[in-house]
Structure formats: structure tokens, C-alpha cells
Amino acid sequence: MNETISRLLEVAADRTVTVVRTITDDQLTASTPCAEYDVHALVDHLFQVIVNFQALAAKKDSDFGAAPEHLTGAWRDRFADETVRLIEAWARPGAEEGTTGAMAMPARTVGAMVVGDLAVHGWDLARATGQPYEPDAALVGMLVAEFGALAPTARKMGVFGEPVPVGEDAGPFETLLAMTGRDPGWGRP
């Protein structure tokens, strides 16, 4: 898939924003496939990712150390609004060119990282809250290729867990989830 990052973000955000809008307050304490986060903490983390990757699109530094509480007031609407700002940031001329932020990584690779965060964490949240989640097949193909290259570094940084074994019949999305350290068969406890 040779789409722009902003277009890929639109596809990933369409599904993830739908999941986030449907999360009920009583589901915020539910566990997720991302073991270190419950639903509340994972949505908060995804907010932080979305805001910081807006800065990275503009070639500015990000601040993942600051973790303000985002789940107050009309947080579902704010999540959707910040996602629109993220898409707009990556649609600006030059966003995919050169390197970005203190990461000093190719901008397109950094953009693929946020696309992956939206898709994979969207699945995490859907699973945790009993919602359907069917990712776009072409987007998954791009992420399998990008994350396959990033996986060793991501594991060293603690961003991905150890790969989970999957059967030969695993589809591309199950393969992607397993690559990031998730059990594609995870179910709510």
C-alpha cells in the first residue's frame, strides 16, 4: 500500500474512533490485551500518542514523559477531534519527508508507527470492551511490512512484547498482533 500517512490514518482512525466513542464508563476498569493498561489507561495513552505524533509530523519534539489525564468531560469527542488534528498534521506538505523529532527516524516510518498504534490499540480496546474490530486489509499489509522491520528495535525499547507464536493458518492481522507481543485469541476475562 503506497498511500499517504494521512490517508492511512483516516482508515485506521475511522475504526478506532468508533470503538472509543462506544466505550462506556463502567468499561474503563476492564483489562486489555495490552497487559500494562486497563481501558482507561490505554485510552489515555492513545490520547498522548495522538497529540505527540501531531508534533512529530511538524518536525517538533514530542514529550511522552508528560501524561496528563485526558478522560474528563467530553473525552470521546476530544479524542475524535485530536484524531482529526493528527490526520491534518500528517497531510501537511513535507510531513512525510526527512526525519522527525528527537527520534531522528525517517518521517514516513514515524507516521507508520502512529498508524499502527491506532490500529493495534483500536483492536485492544475493541477486545477489552466486547466490540467488533475489522481492520482494513491493505493497511494491515503495510503495517506487517513496517513493523516487521521495526520489531527488533521496538522490543529493545519495550514498545513491543516478545512475539506470540501463531499457527500457519494465521491471517495477516493475527500475524501483526503476534509480532507486537499480543495473543490474537485474547478474550475478556
Tell me the pLDDT tens digit for each residue of 16-54. Answer: 999 999 999 999 999 999 988 999 999 999 999 999 999
Quote the pLDDT of residue 1: 47
Q: Is the dihedral of CA 11, 4, 176, 179 positive or negative?
A: negative
Nearest to 37 by CA among 48, 21, 51: 48
Contact (CB, 8 A) for 122 and 12: yes
Biggest CA–CA distance in the chain, Å, is 45
Q: How many residues does the chain have?
A: 189
Quote the pLDDT of residue 63: 78
Q: In whole angstroms, how far apart are CA 184 and each of 16, 154, 161, 174?
A: 17, 19, 13, 5
Q: Render pLDDT for 148-186 as a digit per residue (tens, 0 to 9).
A: 888 888 888 888 889 999 999 999 999 999 999 999 999
Q: In whole angstroms, how far apart are CA 63 and each of 5, 60, 68, 89, 117?
A: 21, 10, 11, 17, 17
DSSP state of 99: E
Q: Return the C-alpha cell found at 178.
A: 503476534
Alpha helices in the chain (DSSP H): 5-22, 39-57, 75-91, 107-129, 137-156, 172-179
Quickly state the pLDDT bin for 133 (edges 50, 70, 90): very high
Contact (CB, 8 A) for 41 and 5: no
pTM: 0.93
How many CB atoms neighbour CB 168 within 10 A? 4
Q: Give CA–CA dist 137/109, Å, rounded.
A: 19
